Amino acid sequence: MKRVKPVLEVRDLTVRFTQRDTAVDGVSFQLYPGEILGIAGESGSGKSTVARAVTRLIDAASGEIFLKGAPITHVTGKRQRAVYRDIQMVFQSPAGSFDPRKTLGDGIGESLGNTGMKRSEVRERVGELLRQCGLGEEFAGKYAREVSGGQCQRAAIARALAIRPDILVCDEAVNALDVTVQKQIIEVLKDLQQEYGMSYLFISHDLALMQSFCDRLLIMQKGKIVEEGTADEVILHPKKEYTKRLMEAAFLFG
C-alpha cells in the first residue's frame, strides 16, 4: 500500500480544547484507497477527536491534513463543502443526526437535491440506497423516532453514501447496537466497501470486531498513537503494555 498515494494523510495533528487540555498530540497516519483503518483506545484517548478533525467538524491547533494530496486543514466555505462530498461520517447515535421533523428519505436525499437532481431521480436513488443498506423503500417515509436503532443506523449509512464519498468515517457507529445487529451492519459495510471501493476510518473500542473488519489498527493513549500494524499483528502480538492491557480487558469482558 505504501507505493500507492494515500487518500487521506494526517501529519503531526494536534487538537486542543483549552490551552492545558490537549486531546490529540502529534498524531500522524495515512489511509490508503480501499483500506479499512481502525483507531482504538480507551474513552478519552482522542480517537473520536481525530475523526472530527479529519472531517473538519473541529479545528486543528497545528499539523496538516491532506485529502487526495490537497491540504484541507484550514479550508472554509466552498472548499470545505467539497471536503464533505469526499468524506462522510456516521455517528454512534444516528437518530440525533436526523432532523426529527423530516422523514429518513428527506434526510438521505437532501444532499442529492442540492446537486440539482430532479425529485423523481432523488426518490429513485433514495430507494436504491435503502435497499443497498438492507432496508425496504418504505423506510423513506418513516421518521427516525419510528424505527429501531439498527434501522436508523442503516439509514444513516445510506445518507452518507448518497454522494458517493471516497472516505467513510465510522465513529463508534455500531457500538450502541446489540451483537446481532452489529454483525448485520458490519456485513452491510463490507458489501458497500467492496462495491464502491471506499476507504473506511473505523473508530471503535471493540477490538474483537476490529480484528475481523479492519486491515490495519492504530492504538491511541492520551492523545498519541502508541502502537500500529495490521489488525492481526496488533491484536495477536501487542508490543506495548497499554495495548496488552486493552487486549486482556477486551477479550476477558467482551
CB atoms within 10 A of CB 234: 26
Q: Which helix (H) or strand (E) holds 224?
A: strand 224-230
Distances (CA, A) of 252 to 44, 203, 242, 246: 21, 21, 15, 10
The predicted-structure confidence for 49-108, as pLDDT tens digits, reads as follows: 999 999 999 999 999 999 999 999 988 888 888 888 899 999 888 888 899 999 999 999
Residue 50 lies in a domain: yes
- Number of folded domains that form the chain: 1
Domain of 233, CATH number, reads 3.40.50.300
Domain assignment present for 114: yes
**Closest alpha carbon to 8 in 171, 199, 157:** 199
In the predicted model, what is the mean pLDDT of residues 120-133? 94
| Structural domain span for residue 223 | 8-253
Is the CB of residue 203 less than 8 Å from the CB of residue 170?
yes
- Quick check: is 181 in a domain? yes
Give the chain's length: 254
Backbone angles phi, psi at 87, to 5 degrees: -125, 125
In a domain, residue 3? The reply is: no
pLDDT tens per residue, range 228-252 = 999 999 999 999 999 999 888 776 5
